[in-house]
Structure 1
């Protein structure tokens, strides 16, 4: 029961993460666990979570910031201070125990605009801890993958969603760039080399024609920029 609750909660988190990625948010991972006991022996219910990039966290307090779902209270967006890393604020969505993924994305958008005004600081109670697990399993069932043989593990499902989301972002950016004005960004040669190394790593870990083409384009531009007059061959006579 605990393992299945963790799996289904993970798939629910993956569905919410997909909606966040579609909204352009920098999601980095999902987590889930079944009912468990902490170090003090206190019983805790099923939980799930969604993490964001450090840049996102830095914009919201500079400490720790993420989405947390509990099987008793629903979703909250927590923040922690940079100094002590202890939780300094929880905002509960108040949209029920299992709100639709789009509602959770709207809650995060509201938090980004007005952290103190999004949701509520009062933790709701939608279900008694440790009770009615069979009902919770049924409630989570709609978020199971349509192709369970491919995405039995929520982490595999999220990895696929994550890759497709960023492929789409890169594709849209490159398609629109043909008519974009040129941007003059000063980079040190070492910084450009580091960027190309990261693109090479991205291609090796996630083979993509887009990554390969972008790396080739930046490399060609870098080669042109680093040529000196002495290294450029003069035109042949008569041309």
Structure 2
């Protein structure tokens, strides 16, 4: 039962992570575990967690910062002090043991705007530790994948969602708009080369035409005079005009 509880809690975390990714939050991973005992022998219940990029953590104290779900108290968003890494703040949305994923996404948005006014610092209690595991299994069942043969494990399901979310972000960013401002970013040759290496690595680990085309475009424009950027922008505008002209 412990393994199945961990798996179902993981799929619930994936459902929440999906809503966070849809709002362009920088989610990096999910974790879950069934009932277990820590090094001191203390009994711990079912848990799950969602992690964010270091840049997100730096915006909120510089230490660890993430979402944690306990099968006794529901979700909380915790922050840790940059210096000693001890928890410096925990906020609870107070929306029940298994709130809808979109409610957690809204809670994180509220936290980013005003941490002190989002949720509560009081930890709620919705379930007694170590009790009613069959009921908890049933409550988590709606979050199991519709195609279990493809996404039996939560980590595999999350990896697929994560990949598709970032492909969509890249695609949206690359859609040409006539009103897009032309930016001037000066890079050393080594910095550009490092960026191209990262895109090449991304393509090798996740083959994508977007990675390949973006790398080719950046490489082709490298070292060209500033006027070339205006020419490039003009060509994009003309192409867009021709697509819209019957």
TM-score per shorter chain, which class? over 0.9
Q: Does 1:136 align with 2:136?
A: yes
State the partner residue of 1:92: 92
3-state SS of 1:224 partner: coil
What's the TM-score once normalised by structure 1's chain length? 0.93
State the partner residue of 1:10: 10
State the partner residue of 1:81: 81
3-state SS of 2:175 partner: helix
Q: Report the CA distance between 1:188 and its aligned residue.
A: 1.1
State the partner residue of 1:174: 174
Q: Report the CA distance between 1:76 and its aligned residue.
A: 0.2
> Equivalences for 1:21-32 in 2 at 5 Å?
21-32=21-32
Deviations, residues 56-107 of structure 1 (Å, cap 9, x unaligned): 0000001110000000000000000000001111001100000001000000
3-state SS of 2:80 partner: strand
State the partner residue of 1:49: 49
The runs of 5 or more residues in structure 2 that have no matched partner are 227-246
Q: Report the CA distance between 1:176 and its aligned residue.
A: 3.9
State the partner residue of 1:231: none
* CA distance in 1 between partners of 2:175 and 2:146 (Å): 31
Query: C-alpha root-mean-square deviation of aligned residues, in Å?
Result: 1.1
Deviations, residues 128-159 of structure 1 (Å, cap 9, x unaligned): 00000000000000000000000000000000
The runs of 5 or more residues in structure 1 that have no matched partner are 227-239
* CA distance in 2 between partners of 1:33 and 1:126 (Å): 19
Deviations, residues 96-120 of structure 1 (Å, cap 9, x unaligned): 0000010000000000000111100
Change (3 A) 1:175 1:4: same
* CA distance in 2 between partners of 1:163 and 1:176 (Å): 22
What's the TM-score once normalised by structure 2's chain length? 0.90
Tell me the number of residue pairs that the alignment of Structure 1 and Structure 2 aligns.
226
